[in-house]
Amino acid sequence: MRLVMTLSVLLFVALAGTSVNAKLAETEHDRVVAYTAFLESNPFDAQAPAMRAWLLDWEDKSKDVVDVVCPDLFKPLPSKDIPYSSELVAQFIFGSAANQIANPEQKGKLVPNQLAGFRSMLKSYASILRSKPDAHIPRLDELSKQEANGTLEQYLTPLIGTYCKN
């Protein structure tokens, strides 16, 4: 009986250790993708500020992604007068980075990464609105309708070409 109990404890410890080791083995790229998805759904979570800080630091140092932010596409963002403006613009950057990590062949490709960034930002915006229904931003409402209608890519592609000149 003791042998069975000892083996059970050892098996439990081994399995628990495997879980811990899997978490320790997580790559930075996995973290980028996971944090980005988490922030899309949980922009107000207690861990969100630390995740954003980590992602921004990673983005600043990384050579694995190409960040392109075209300010005219975001108008009226960023703005101190618009609630959650900085979180939304940051989410765009994270979405673009996560897309490049998940699809390395798209590194530096303007249209797919701009679209991925906008889609990530719109997911986060929808999550914000669920918690803060008065936080509407007309431009993002318009883009959300485009996404819901399946016309976001068609709508944004010419604008990306116009506003994202190198």
Spatial CB neighbours of 122, under 8 Å, sequence gap ≥ 6: 140, 143, 144, 147
Q: Write down the pTM of the prediction.
A: 0.82
pLDDT score at 15 = 43
Identify which has the larger pLDDT, 42 or 166. 42
Residue % of the chain over a pLDDT of 70: 84
The pLDDT confidence band at residue 153, using thresholds 50, 70 and 90, is very high
Between 152 and 25, where is the model more confident? 152
Looking at per-residue pLDDT, the higher value among 5 and 162 belongs to 162
Query: In the predicted model, is pLDDT for residue 78 greater than 60?
Result: yes
Counting other chains too, the contacts that 53-61 makes at CB distance below 8 Å and 24 or more residues apart are: 55/90, 55/93, 55/94, 55/97, 56/90, 56/93, 58/28, 58/31, 58/32, 59/93, 59/94, 59/97
Dist CA 78 CA 146 (whole Å): 21
With pLDDT > 90 as the criterion, what percentage of the chain qualifies? Answer: 75
What would the two tokens of residue 20 be? 């811990």
Average pLDDT over residues 99-117: 94
> How long a stretch of residues is the chain?
166
Could you tell me which residue, 158 or 16, shows the higher pLDDT?
158
The mean pLDDT of 131-144, rounded to a whole number, is: 96
Phi/psi at 46 (5° precision): -60, -30
pLDDT at 3: 38
Rounded distance between C-alpha atoms, residue 40 and residue 147, angstroms: 15
CB 115 within 8 A of CB 109: no
99 close to 112: Cβ distance less than 8 angstroms: yes
